[in-house]
Amino acid sequence: MEIPPRVRWMQDIFGEYQRYFTFLKKVARHEFRTNGFTRITTPILELKSLITHSTGDGSDIVTKEMFDFTDKGGREVVMKPESTPGVMRAYLEHMLEEPQPVYLYYIEPHFRYDRPQKGRYRQFHQIGAEIIGEVDPILDAKAIYIMAQILDGLGLAGTYTVKINSLGVAKEREKYLIELASFFENKKHLLDETDLARLEKNPLRLLDSKNADVKELLKVAPKMTDFLKKDSLEFYTKVKEYLDILGVKYEEDHTLVRGLDYYSHTVWELVDGSGRTQDALGGGGRYDGLAKSIGYKTEVPAVGFAFGAERLIEAMIERGVQLKNKDKIHLYIMQLGDEAKKLALPLNIEARKKWLNSLLGLGTPSIKVQLKKANRVGARFVIVIGIMEAKKWICQLKDMDRGTQIEMPLDNVLDAVIAEVGTDALSFYHPSRDFIISDVPMSEEKMRRVSMD
Of the CA atoms within 13 Å of residue 68, those in its CB half-sphere come to: 18
Confidence of residue 418 (pLDDT cuts 50, 70, 90): very high
Q: Give the count of beta carbons closer than 10 Å to the beta carbon of residue 117.
A: 11
- Are 271 and 146 members of one domain? yes
- Do the domain assignments include residue 7? no
**Phi, psi for residue 100 in degrees, rounded to 5:** -105, 145
- Do the domain assignments include residue 441? no
Return the pLDDT at 229: 94
- Do the domain assignments include residue 233? yes
CATH number, residue 343:
3.40.50.800
Q: Which residues contact 266 (CB under 8 A, 6 or more apart)?
A: 137, 140, 164, 165, 166, 235, 236, 239, 285, 286, 303
Q: Which of 79, 70, 76 lies closest to 114, judged by CA?
A: 79
Last residue of a domain, one of 319, 350, 373: 319
- Are 267 and 349 members of one domain? no
Confidence of residue 25 (pLDDT cuts 50, 70, 90): very high
State yes or no: pLDDT of 37 exceeds 70. yes
- Could you tell me the residue range of the domain that residue 347 belongs to? 331-432
- Are 159 and 283 members of one domain? yes
| Secondary element (H or E) of residue 17 | helix 15-34
Last residue of a domain, one of 258, 291, 319: 319
What average pLDDT does this structure show over 167-180? 89
pLDDT digits (tens, 9 = 90+) for 282-337: 999 999 999 999 999 999 999 999 999 999 999 999 999 999 887 889 999 999 88
Q: What's the number of domains the chain is made of?
A: 2
Return the pLDDT at 301: 96
Q: Which residues contact 299 (CB under 8 A, 6 or more apart)?
A: 288, 289, 291, 292
pLDDT digits (tens, 9 = 90+) for 48-101: 999 888 876 555 566 567 888 899 999 999 999 999 999 999 999 999 999 999
Burial code (b: 16+ CB inside 10 Å, e: under 16) for 63-92 equals eebbbbeeeeeeeebbbbbbbbbbbbbbbb
What average pLDDT does this structure show over 207-221? 87
| Contact between 282 and 270 (Cβ < 8 Å) | yes
- Are 141 and 253 members of one domain? yes
Percentage, residues of the chain above pLDDT 70: 92
Confidence of residue 276 (pLDDT cuts 50, 70, 90): low
The end-to-end CA distance of the chain, in Å, is 41
From residue 48, alpha-carbon distances to 66, 84, 107, 327 in Å are 9, 14, 21, 41
- Are 354 and 415 members of one domain? yes
- Do the domain assignments include residue 259? yes
Sheet strands side by side (includes 251-252): 38-39, 102-111, 123-132, 302-308, 280-286, 264-271, 161-166, 251-252
- Are 411 and 279 members of one domain? no
Distance, C-alpha 22 to centroid of its chain:
10
Most confident of 149-163, 196-210, 250-264: 149-163
How far apart are the C-alpha atoms of 107 and 236, rounded to whole Å?
29
- Are 369 and 418 members of one domain? yes
- Are 252 and 154 members of one domain? yes
- Are 336 and 276 members of one domain? no
What average pLDDT does this structure show over 194-203? 86
What average pLDDT is seen over the chain?
89
| Contact between 165 and 254 (Cβ < 8 Å) | yes
- Are 314 and 345 members of one domain? no
How far apart are the C-alpha atoms of 159 and 279, rounded to whole Å?
11
How far apart are the C-alpha atoms of 166 and 97, rounded to whole Å?
30
Q: Which of 55, 54, 81 lies closest to 67, judged by CA?
A: 81
What average pLDDT does this structure show over 146-152? 97
Confidence of residue 206 (pLDDT cuts 50, 70, 90): confident
How far apart are the C-alpha atoms of 175 and 170, rounded to whole Å?
9
State yes or no: pLDDT of 119 exceeds 60. no
How far apart are the C-alpha atoms of 340 and 51, rounded to whole Å?
61
Question: Environment class of residue 160 by beta-carbon count within 10 Å: exposed (0-12), middle (13-18) or buried (19+)?
Answer: buried
State yes or no: pLDDT of 449 exceeds 60. no
